[in-house]
């Protein structure tokens, strides 16, 4: 199974760490993944639109909350207000914030998972497995 994963974070180091861990998770779960990256919400919107037009839509977005130009939450709001992205892609919010109000806002915009930084390999794996199960994909663990 092939997945297109978009990693949105203003830290190049963190994008590389997330991508490395996700590659390991995908290999462990027998998933074939293609990765795209964006440094903020504005760039992520362009990636989403371009990939939709090229018929290679993004399946999962790993999204940082705090970024310059456009925050993860602003990107998420814009994404879900667009008809073609109302339900998909799945979004996993990444943040150091743990306030209940913030989690509630994310859930309002159909976030699949909410991971607090620093997160561990198993946190990413659990979030990805939740998405796979939700979509009823069949894969080998």
Tens digits of residue pLDDT in 40-92: 999 999 999 999 999 999 999 999 999 999 999 999 999 999 999 998 899 99
Is 47 inside any structural domain? Answer: yes
Q: What is the mean pLDDT of the chain?
A: 89
CA dihedral 4, 99, 79, 107 (to 10 degrees): 80
The answer to whether position 76 is within a domain reads: yes
Closest CA to 128 of 110, 115, 109: 115
What is the domain-level CATH number for residue 23? 3.40.50.2300
Query: How are strands ordered across the β-sheet holding 90-95?
Result: 32-38, 2-8, 60-64, 90-95, 113-116
The whole-angstrom separation of Cα 28 and Cα 79 is 30
Structural domain contains residue 140: no
Position with higher pLDDT, 7 vs 95: 7
Domain assignment of residue 99, given as a range? 2-133
Domain count, the chain: 1
Q: Residue 118 pLDDT more than 70?
A: yes
Has residue 71 been placed in a domain? Answer: yes
Position 141 in a domain: no
Angle between helix 41-53 and helix 72-81 axes, rounded to 10 deg = 30
Residue 122: Cβ within 10 Å count? 11
């Amino acid at each position: 199974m092939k997945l297109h994963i978009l990693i949105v974070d203003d830290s190049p180091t963190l994008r590389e760490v997330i991508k490395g861990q996700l590659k390991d998770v995908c290999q462990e779960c027998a998933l074939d993944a293609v990765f795209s990256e964006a440094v903020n919400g504005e760039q992520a919107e362009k990636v989403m639109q371009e990939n939709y037009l090229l018929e290679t839509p993004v399946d999962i977005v790993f999204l940082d909350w705090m970024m310059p130009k456009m925050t993860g939450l602003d990107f998420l709001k814009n994404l879900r207000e667009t008809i073609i992205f109302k339900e998909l892609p799945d979004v996993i919010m990444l943040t150091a914030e743990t306030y209940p109000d913030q989690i509630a806002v994310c859930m309002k915009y159909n976030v699949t998972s909410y991971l607090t930084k620093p997160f561990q390999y198993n946190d990413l794996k659990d979030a990805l497995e939740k998405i796979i199960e939700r979509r009823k994909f069949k894969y080998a663990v």
